[in-house]
Every structure is written in C-alpha cells, then in structure tokens.
Structure 1
Amino acid sequence: AICFNSETSVIPAKTVRKLVYRFKHIVLLYDTDKTGLECSEKHRAQLAEYGVKRLVLPLPGTKAEKDVTDYFKAGHTREELMGLFLKLLDTLYGDTLAMLKSCEIDYDHPPEQAVAIVTAGDVPLGSEENILCITGGEGTGKSNYTAALVAGAIMERETDADLLGVRVEPNRKGRAVLLYDTEQSEQQLHKNTGRLLRRAGRERMPEYLHVYCLTGMSRSERLTAIVQSMDRYHYLHGGIHLVVIDGVADLIRCANDEAESVALIDEIYRLAGIYRTCIAAVVHFVPNGLKLRGHLGSELQRKSAAILSIEKDENPEVSVVKALKVRDGSPLDIPLMQFRWDKQAGMPVYVGEKPRAEKEKRKE
C-alpha cells in the first residue's frame, strides 16, 4: 500500500509509471466520503492510460466508517477484501468472461459425442466439428477422391458402394451435403457430379445436395458465399452432413500470407464447430515436394483432425491414399488404399490395399 498523504494530493504520473513495471494492478482505495469518492474517480480518469483502477469500500462514508482501517475494524477479513477486488475484475472483464464461459469444460456434463463421418477401418478420419485435410500433387486424383466422399454422404443407408476404401456415415436425416469447387470448370464439375451420382446409385441429385463452381467469383467473394450458403442450408435441411471445399487455397490471395491463412483456417474450423459438421478441405502439395502449400498448408496441418495424402504409385495408373496424420489414432493403423480409373465404369474404382510389406516400410 502506498499513501499519498491526502486524497486531494496530486499523484505524479512518473511515479505511477514506475509502479506499472512492478505491480499487476494499481488500485485507488480512498475514503468513502464525498471528497474521497470524487477524488478517486478524478484520479482514476487522469491515470487511465496506466490501467489504474478504483475500488469503493462498502462503508457509509461517515467520520467513523470511511477508510480501510474502519473496514477491518468492523470485522471484515482479507478474504472479503479480495472478494471485492474479484468483483471489480468481474466488472472489468465481464464481456470476456461471459464469452469464455461458453468455452469452459464442465467435466460432469460431457459434450455430445461427435459422429465420425469418414472412417477407414475403425479409425475416424473426419468427424463432426473437425477438418479433414486431403492433399496431393497435380493429377493424383484428389477431386475424384472427394467426389467419392460426397457420394457416400448422399446415401441414406448402409450400402456396399465403392467409396475408394473408406466408409462414410449414411445421411439418414437428409441433411445438407455441400461441394464447393474453386478449380474445375463448370463443364468438368458437371461431369464429376454425374459420376458421384452414379457411384451413389442415383439418377438425380437429392434436394439436399448442392454443388457449386466458384471459379467465376473473386477470391474475396468465395468465402462469403460459402459462409452464407452454409448458414442457409443448415436451417433449410436441418443440419449439414458434409462439406467439401476443393481448392481451399483459392479462397485467399496468397497461400504464403500468414495472417490471411490463419484467419481462413480459423473460420473454416469455426464453421465446422458451430454447424457440427465435417469439412473436407483440399490443398495442393508444394510442387516437387512433400510439404503442404505455404502458411495455409502449415495452419491446415495443425488444425486438421486427419491428413490424407494422395500420390501416384510406381504404376502411374494407380493412386495411393496414405494417412499422414490422425488425431484419434495412428496413421500406421490406416491401410495404404489404392484406386485407379476404370474405363468400363467411367470412374475411379478401389483396387485394394497396398501389400503388408509396403506398410512395414512406413514403420522404418
């Protein structure tokens, strides 16, 4: 405690500046009479730039009951004084604490279990409230692979359809399935939509499937379109089962811009959480490398629940799907899944797992 002799004294700013370096909080604790209340508020305002606070004791302000010694003389304890200080902090931090309250974990009331939307064996790859990252080089089959996920997401019951080695939770409630493509032409995306419908055993698109070619939009407009359409379809269809963003790097100006990249992935992660859905985000490898593209790739790698890499096999007709990261398990528990183009089917088909010897090499 520091005494300045009288509440009407002038508090030197340079003194307060020095105190700021030594103490977390500087609190004015003046008498609670008329003069004390007026002066404490005046000094608080004058020293606001230093974060000086003002605490008013619960005393009537009479000659016998107005200062901190009177407060303790009345039987109050240190803990009660600390309680007053905590109430002061609650007032100052009210908005932040109210927002933080919704984020607090209540161990006695666990959150609703997230449903695994995409799994390989018993290992969840993409679940509600999470991002599934799908990556690979040019021409490895990323768009065909994600189309298979969409095909699985528009099936309303369990089937033996070929989903290129994974299982997709059936869309039993007819919730929205959304595919946003930022790279392919409208004509190519139309062809791919036809293939995924055939894979799902459908002749027409279900009402809850919405496929968008965003190549005609500016980069700044694309994310806004995704955010607003997701909100609408969430309410229109009673929820969102799966979202695919094919070409997530095309939602920002530069994949190497750290601020833009962090903001984008934070927003995608937020959308997955508030709509309780799985968002599959497709991003390229760096050319001639095995690293995800730029700051965007680094941030996506950090936030994704799983990362699947699609690469060409030694036989260039075959694509291999390999898990690079799995949050709820080990990548080594997921087989190396293979698919290739089938002329007769007019689409990629699953051709089984890589031999066990290949899996053993990954452990070395």
Structure 2
Amino acid sequence: METRNNKIDLDALWQKSLVRVTDEFTLPPVILQVDDAIIGTLGNFSASTGKAKAKKTFNVSAIVASALINGQVLEYRASLPEGKRKILYFDTEQSPFHCKKVLQRILKLAGLPLDRQPENLIFSHLREIANPAVRCEIIRKAIYSIEGVGLVIIDGIRDLMLDINNATQATTLIGDLMQWTSEREIHIQTVLHLNKGDDNSRGHIGTELNNKAETVLQVTKDPADEDRSIVSASFIRSKPFEKFAFRICDEPDNINIPQLDMEYQAELTSPKNGFDYTELTENEHRQALELVYENAEKGFGYGEMVEALRKSYATVTGVTYGIGKVKKLLTFLKNKRMIIQNRSKQYVFNPKFYY
C-alpha cells in the first residue's frame, strides 16, 4: 500500500499483518492431491524438480490434464472450484513445435479432442523473448488480467532471472510468486532442474523454492530401469504420499503419453502406515473381491491385481484409491489370507477367509 507521495504506508501494512486469536481463517481450497496428500492449494505455489531427461514435463502434463478435466490422471486428482477452472501454461525452454506436442499430450491425457483448443487452457511459449524481466512481466500481466484462473504452470522458472545464483534476484522472484498466488488466489506450479552431481535444486532460486514452496515434487529415473520415472515428494507440508512411477507409452501418432507403472513397488512402509483394518467391513471386502474374480478364469499377476482391486473397490465404496493405498490394501488382503498366491505366483481369491 502506498501514499500519495509514493511512500509505503507502514502503519497500514503493520495493521494488515496482525493475526489475532479472535480472527477466523478458512483452509485454502485444495486443488491438487495424490491419495490423501495435499499437493497444491489456492494461494500457494509448488515445484517439480528433476535432472535432465527425467520426464519432468511429462509429469507436469499429467497435472495439467487432471486440472483440465477436474478429475484424476496418473495419481493426480484435481478439484478446482467453480470460477477458478482456467489454466495458464508458460513454457520458457521449448520451441513452438515442441510446445504444441506438450499441448497435444495434455489433451490426449485428458481424453479431449486434438483438433479443438480447450476453453480453459491457455498455452504460451516465451523462449523467443530474450529478456527474463520481460518474460516475468508477461506472466504477471496474464495472471492479473485474465479472470477465472486457478492454476498456473511455469515450466522453466530459471529463465525468469539472469543469474540463478543471485540471492537478490531469487528472493525477488519468490516474492513475486507469493504475492501473485496470494492476491489472485491461484496456485502456481514451477519446474526447475536439479544439479547434475546431486539432488539439490539449482542455485539460490532452488534454495528459495525449497524453503517457501508448499510441495516440492521430485521426478527421477529409476536406476534399475531407465525407462521408468519415479515421482516422490522431497518436501511436502501435508502428509507424504507413497512414491509412484510411470512409463512413456509410444503412440502411433507420435504424441507419447505417460502411463502409470502398475508393476512398480515402492519401499515397504511400516505397519502403522498400512491399510486400516476398520476402514471397510468384511462384507465390503467380500463384495469387492467377488467382483474382481467374477469373470477371472485364473489368477492375476501383481500389476493386474493392483489395477483390478482399484476398479472393484471404487465400484463398491465409491472412492478411487491411489496406487499407493491399493498396494497397501493388497498387502492387507494377503496378510488376512483373503487373497493367496498359487504355485504359479498368481494372486487368487480365497472365499473361505476368516476376517
């Protein structure tokens, strides 16, 4: 706030900054989740990080696709409120040709036609603008002039500053993100590379992102399988989610998309983080399992079993579990001998289980 003399009104800012025990505040609207973990809320910003070729943009494409349909893509579940359904996507690194590929991938993941621009998605490429300050001003102008925006993607936040190791520039840029998200009640998802030699985000901007972001997602190549990318939370204010993985599915139209890797098994979690015994009744479990094996002539492999459980339990309970929770459910069912493995290591139903 400024006075007529263009001086900051410190008294007004001081009064605005005070928090009193009698004040009432509401929880910021949650717009992005993985399972029950909160990835993004309106009024905050998050980041996706990863080394070169880790498939960061593929991961962000899934986030945008989920927001576009206000539903689930991969493990991301979006729920943008009415009046906040527009998405701005700024790419600072790629040519218009490759930006169009990203746009097509988003639409394909969302199950939308590729020959019609969706009303709620605005895609901008800023690579040809040489001045980082001008790029930043274009983003600011779009955020403040376009109504109904709920989610903003900045794929290449490093390109909004001249020197990623300049502490002043980094602090100023992060201050902009905090101001924009707060004043416009939006969520901004940024993308930043990790250092080649370690898993630290690059430069002072990386340090500031880690300190101020609501969530920092990390996309890494599986060292045991270079075709698999693993998504985890290197920092999250919410409770953490279990890692999940995706592979790139080669499509005949050359618009390749990420697909959930059902065979990936994250590290074993402690028993206290397993599936809750009291969450469902015996009858609900039995209904779901009978549905799984209704037309199954033989058992299932691990990936098939997880996917089958996910669909059947969604039918019975009305809730679609995330991949991490379904894997915990499978462990629970095996421990209760509701599902057993035969000699061929296939998962089969044991209808005589004791609950």
Report the TM-score when normalising by structure 1: 0.67
The aligned counterpart of 1:223 is 136
Name the structure 2 match of 1:72: none
Equivalences for 1:131-170 in 2 at 5 Å?
131-156=45-70, 158=71, 161=72, 163-170=73-80
Residue 162 of structure 2 corresponds to residue 250 of structure 1: no
Q: Note if 1:288 corresponds to 2:200.
A: no
Q: Deviations over 1:119-158 (max 9, x none)?
A: 11111011111111110000111111111111111115x4
Q: Is residue 2:106 matched to residue 1:196?
A: yes
Find the counterpart in structure 2 of residue 101 from structure 1: 15
Report if the CA contact (8 A) 2:80-2:150 is conserved. no
Amino acid of the residue matched to residue 123 of structure 1? A
Q: Alignment partner for residue 341 of structure 1, among 208, 232, 248?
A: 248
1:64 aligns with none
Contact 2:39 2:214 (C-alpha < 8 Å) held by counterparts: yes
User: How far apart are 1:354 and its partner, in Å?
Assistant: 4.1
- Which amino acid letter does the alignment assign opposite residue 243 of structure 2? L
Question: What SS does the aligned partner of 2:153 have?
Answer: strand
Contact 1:154 1:171 (C-alpha < 8 Å) held by counterparts = no
Q: Which amino acid counterpart does residue 155 of structure 1 have in structure 2?
A: I
Q: Which of 108, 114, 120 in structure 1 is aligned with 2:34?
A: 120
Unaligned runs of 5+ in 2: 1-6, 274-355
Structure 1: how far apart are the matches of 2:263 and 2:234?
16
> C-alpha displacement at 1:206, in angstroms?
2.2
Cα separation, partners in 2 of 1:190 and 1:304, compared to 1, 3 Å: same
Q: Does structure 2 retain, via aligned residues, the 8 Å contact 1:155–1:171?
A: no
Q: Which residue of 2 aligns with 1:25?
A: none
2:218 and 2:182 map into 1 onto residues whose CA distance is 24
Cα gap change, 1:353 to 1:229, in 2 (>3 Å): farther
Partners of 2:49 and 2:216 within 8 A in 1 = yes
5+ residue gaps in structure 1?
1-92
1:213 aligned to 2:120? no
Shift of 1:165: 1.4
| Structure 2 match to 1:6 | none
Instruction: Trace 1:165-184 onto structure 2 (pairs within 5 A).
Output: 165-170=75-80, 172-173=82-83, 175-184=85-94
- Give every structure 1 segment of 4 or more consecutive aligned residues whose post-TM-superposition deviation is greater than 4 Å: none
Cα shift readout 1:173-203 (whole Å, capped 9, x = no counterpart): 4632100011111101101101111211212
Deviation by residue 1:192-225 (Cα, 9 ceiling, x = unmatched):
1011112112122222311011001121210000
Contact 2:90 2:154 in 1 (8 A): yes
Correspondence for 2:286: none
d(CA) in 2 for partners of 1:304 and 1:188?
28
Distance 1:120 1:301 in 2: 19
Identity percentage of aligned residues: 26
Residues 1:233 and 2:143 aligned together: no
How is 1:268-283 mapped onto 2 (pairs within 5 angstroms)? 268-283=177-192
Q: For residue 179 of structure 1, what is the amino acid of its counterpart?
A: Y
Please say which of residues 102-111 and 191-200 is displaced more in the overlay: 102-111
Q: 2:229 aligns with which of 289, 304, 319?
A: 319
Tell me the distance in 1 between the aligned counterparts of 2:84 and 2:18. Answer: 32
Q: Which has the larger radius of gyration?
A: 1
Relative to structure 1, is the Cα distance of residues 296 and 128 closer, same or farther in structure 2, using a 3 angstrom cutoff? Answer: same
AA at the equivalent of 1:208: N
Measure how far apart 1:100 and its partner are. 2.2
TM-score (norm 2): 0.68
Q: Aligned pair in 2 of structure 1 residues 115, 183: CA closer, same or farther (>3 Å)?
A: same
**In the superposition, relative to structure 1, how do residues 266 and 343 fare at CA in structure 2: closer, same or farther (>3 Å)?**
same
Instruction: Indicate the residue corresponding to 1:186 in structure 2.
Output: 96
Task: Name the residue aligned to 1:130.
Answer: 44
Map Cα deviations across residues 7-42 of structure 1 (whole Å, 9 max, x no partner): xxxxxxxxxxxxxxxxxxxxxxxxxxxxxxxxxxxx
Check the 8 A contact 1:320/1:339 in 2, yes or no. yes
Displacement after TM superposition at 1:262 (Å): 0.7
C-alpha separation in 2, matches of 1:202 and 1:108 = 47
For residues 112 and 285 of structure 1, the distance between their equivalents in structure 2, rounded to whole angstroms, comes to 35
When the two structures are aligned, how many residues end up with a matched partner?
258
Distance 2:64 2:265 in 1: 28
Q: Secondary structure at the match of 2:159?
A: helix
